[in-house]
Amino acid sequence: MKPAGSILLLTTLTGFAYGLLAWIGAYACLGLLSGATPLAVAGVVLGLFLASLGLGASVLHLGRKERAWRALSQWRSSWLSREGVGALLTYPIAILFAVALRMDGDGIPARVFGAVMVATSLATVFCTAMIYASLKPIRQWHNSHTAPDYLIYAVFSGALLFALLHTVLLGTPGATGLIVATTAAVALLAKRAYWRHVDAQTPLASLAAAIGLPQGAEVQPLDAPHFTENYVLREMGFAIARRHSAKLRRIALGLGFAAPFGLGLLASLAIAPLAATAGALVCTFVGLLTERWLFFAEATHVSALYYGRRI
Amino acid sequence: MTMLPKALPGAKRLGLVIDLDTCVGCHACAVSCKEWNSGGEAGPLPDYDRQGPKPDGVWFNRVHSYEADGQGCSRTVNLPRSCLHCDDALCVTVCPTGASYKRAEDGIVLIDPEICIGCKLCSWACPYGAREFDEEAGVMRKCTLCVDRIYDRNLPEAEREPACVAACPTRARHFGDLADPESRVSKLVASRGGKDLLEELGYRPTNKYLPPRTATIAAEPCKPAAGAAGGLGTALLKLVDRALSR
C-alpha cells in the first residue's frame, strides 16, 4: 500500500495527541494532578493542537477537501466516520475538563470529565486502527495485532509528551520517566510480535482463485491490460525491497522504541531528565513515522495479484 | 447510506456472467465501456498524459491475459475485470459519507459523485481492484453496470444492456438477473459451473465467471504407417542417420 504522507502524519500525530489526553485524564481521575492545573491545561491545549494538526493533514489527503464534513455521517457502518465523530467529541470534553479543573480543582466534575476524556481519546485511536484492521484484502492490517498496537503506540507516545510537559512545568519527571520506559518496552515487544506474525502469514489468495480457476492450477500473467501504471498499481501495488525494509525495521525499533526506553530510564533516575525526555521525543517521532511508513509500505493488497504481484 | 440494503423479497440481482472459454481478450468490452461512460451520465472518464510517455486514465473494465497450465499443455485465459456488484460489498460499508451505496432494488453498487470526498478507502476495501480514482474530479469512480442504459426507455429493448455486453464480438458476456433461477444467466451459471472470483474472501460477488471448458478434442497418438516398420528401407535410413550423426 502506498504510504501517503498525510495519513502517516494523521495516525502518528493523533497517537501522540490522544495518548497525552488519555494520560492527563487518567492522572486527574486518580487525583494525581492536584495543584498541577497548569500542567493539565497545557496538556489539553497541546493535545488538541496536535490532534488538529493530524486531522488537518488527513483532510489534505481528500480529493474533495471542502466536503470533509460529510465524513461524519456514516458512523453506523464506517470506522472512518466513527474516527471523525470520536475526534470531534473529544474537543468539547477536553475543554470542559480543563475548565472544570481551573474552576474547582480536581473535584468530581474534573474527575468525571477526565474519565470521559480517557474514553473518547482511546476510542478515537481505536477507530483509526479499525479503519485498517477491517480491510479484508490486506493481510498485514486485517489481523488481531493492528488495533491493540495502535492503542499501545498512542499510550506510549502520549506518555512521552506527558513526561516532557511534567519535566518542563514541574521541574521533575516524577513517575513519568518510568512510565515512558515501561510503555516503550511494551511497544517494542508489540512491534516485534507484529512483524513475526506478518512474516509468517501466507498469501490470502492465489492467482488461480483470483481468476476463478481451480485451486492449484498454475497461472502466470501473460499480457497486462495496460503498459503504464494505473491507479490500482500506484495505490495498491506499492512494493518495497526486502533489504530496505529490514534496515527500516531496525531504525524504527531503535529510534522509536529502544532509544526512548533507555532515555526514559535515565529520566526516571533523574539523570538530565529534561534533555533525556526531549531527546526521547525527537527519536520517537522519527521512529514512529518510520514504523508507520513501513506499516503501509509492507502491506500488500489482494488486487495486486491480478498484475502478477506477490501479496 | 452505507449500510448494505436488506434483501427485498423478489428484488433483482443484476449482474454479468463472463465466459472465460469464449473470451478472446480483444478488449472491445473495455473500449466500449470507456466510450459509453465518457459520454454517458457517468462521464467524463478522465485520461491523463494522453500523448505523453505515461498515458493513464480511469477505466471501469480491464482485460488481463494469463497463461494457465492444464493437462500437459498451457492455455491462454483472458479475464475481463470490473466491479462484481458484491452482496457483501465492503466498499459500501467503509464509506464515511454515504456516497458509496448498493441499490436494494437491483443490487447495483454505485458512487454518488456529488457526495464522495475522495478518501479512497473504498478502493482499499475492494479485493478486485475495481475502483479507480478520478484525479481531475477528486472522486472515486467505478462500473455502473451502465445503469443509464439498461433502464433507458428511449433505447430499443434489445439495446438495454451494458455497453460491454453489447460490444462483445464472441458473446462471452451475458447480462441478466442472477436472483431469478429461471433467468438465462442463472441457467448458464448452473450448467457451466459458474465461479465467484476470490470466493474465500467472502464478498459474495454477483458477477460470475464460467471456467474454460476442458479440451474435448482428444487427438489419437500418431501410428506408424503400415509396412514402414523394419525392412530394408529402415536399415538404409538408420545407416544414413549414423553417417550424418558422426
Closest CB from B56, B70, B124 relative to A229 = B56
Segment A45-55 mean pLDDT: 98
Would you say residue B72 has pLDDT above 70? no
Do A157 and A184 meet the contact criterion of CB atoms below 8 Å apart?
no
Average pLDDT across chain A, whole number: 95
Closest CB from B27, B127, B132 relative to A231 = B132
Cα-Cα-Cα-Cα dihedral sign, residues B198, B199, B201, B206:
positive
Distances (CA, A) of A256 to A154, A180, A240, A299: 12, 12, 20, 20
Q: Please answer yes or no on whether A77 and B209 come within 8 Å at the CB atom.
A: no
Q: How confident is the model at residue B226 (pLDDT cuts 50, 70, 90)?
A: low
Confidence (pTM):
0.92
Segment B147-156 mean pLDDT: 94
Would you say residue B224 has pLDDT above 70? no
Instruction: Tell me which chain A residues have a C-beta less than 8 angstroms from the C-beta of B128.
Output: 303, 306
Segment B99-113 mean pLDDT: 96
Q: How confident is the model at residue B5 (pLDDT cuts 50, 70, 90)?
A: confident
Q: How high is the pLDDT of residue B41?
A: 72
Would you say residue B228 has pLDDT above 60? no
Would you say residue B234 has pLDDT above 90? no
Q: How confident is the model at residue B99 (pLDDT cuts 50, 70, 90)?
A: very high
Do B119 and A80 meet the contact criterion of CB atoms below 8 Å apart?
yes
Segment B93-100 mean pLDDT: 96
Q: How confident is the model at residue B229 (pLDDT cuts 50, 70, 90)?
A: low
- Residue spans of the domains in chain B: they are 14-210
Average pLDDT across chain B, whole number: 91
Do A301 and A204 meet the contact criterion of CB atoms below 8 Å apart?
no
Q: How high is the pLDDT of residue B1?
A: 59
Q: Please answer yes or no on whether B133 and A80 come within 8 Å at the CB atom.
A: no
Amino acid making up residue A226: H
Q: Could you give the 3-state DSSP secondary structure of residue B109?
A: strand
Distances (CA, A) of B9 to A212, B6, B195: 29, 9, 24
Is-cis flag, bond preceding A92, omega within 30? no
B7 vs A169, residue with greater confidence: A169
Burial of residue B193 (number of CB atoms within 10 Å: 0-12, 13-18, 19+): exposed
Q: How high is the pLDDT of residue A34?
A: 81
Would you say residue B220 has pLDDT above 90? no
Gyration radius of chain B's alpha carbons: 25
- pLDDT digit string, tens, across residues A94-114: 999 999 999 988 889 999 999
Segment A155-168 mean pLDDT: 97
Q: How confident is the model at residue A82 (pLDDT cuts 50, 70, 90)?
A: very high
Per-residue cell: B34: 470507456
User: Which region, left, alpha or beta, applies to residue B89 given φ > 0 means left and ψ of -120 to 50 means alpha?
Assistant: beta
Q: How confident is the model at residue B219 (pLDDT cuts 50, 70, 90)?
A: low
- Supply the ipTM of this predicted assembly: 0.94
Q: Please answer yes or no on whether B96 and A224 come within 8 Å at the CB atom.
A: no
Instruction: Report the run of H or E that residue B57 belongs to, with start and end.
Output: strand B56-57
Segment B214-221 mean pLDDT: 64
Would you say residue A170 has pLDDT above 60? yes
Q: How far apart are CA B193 and CA B190, in angstroms?
A: 5
Candidates 3.40.50.620, 3.40.50.720, 3.30.70.20, 3.40.50.300; CATH matching B14-210: 3.30.70.20
Instruction: Tell me which chain A residues have a C-beta less than 8 angstroms from the C-beta of B134.
Output: 63
Q: How confident is the model at residue B6 (pLDDT cuts 50, 70, 90)?
A: confident
Segment A55-79 mean pLDDT: 95
Would you say residue B218 has pLDDT above 80? no
Q: How far apart are CA A19 and CA A288, in angstroms?
A: 14
Distances (CA, A) of A111 to A120, A124, A176, B242: 14, 20, 20, 102
Instruction: Tell me which chain B residues have a C-beta less than 8 angstroms from the C-beta of A61.
Output: 119-120
Q: Running DSSP on this structure, what letter comes out for residue B206?
A: S
**Which one of A114-118, A213-217, B220-224, B230-234 scores highest in mean pLDDT?**
A114-118
**In order of start, what are the domains of chain A with their CATH numbers?**
1-134 (1.20.120), 173-311 (no CATH)
Alpha-helical regions (H) of chain B: 28-39, 90-93, 121-125, 147-150, 163-167, 184-192, 231-245
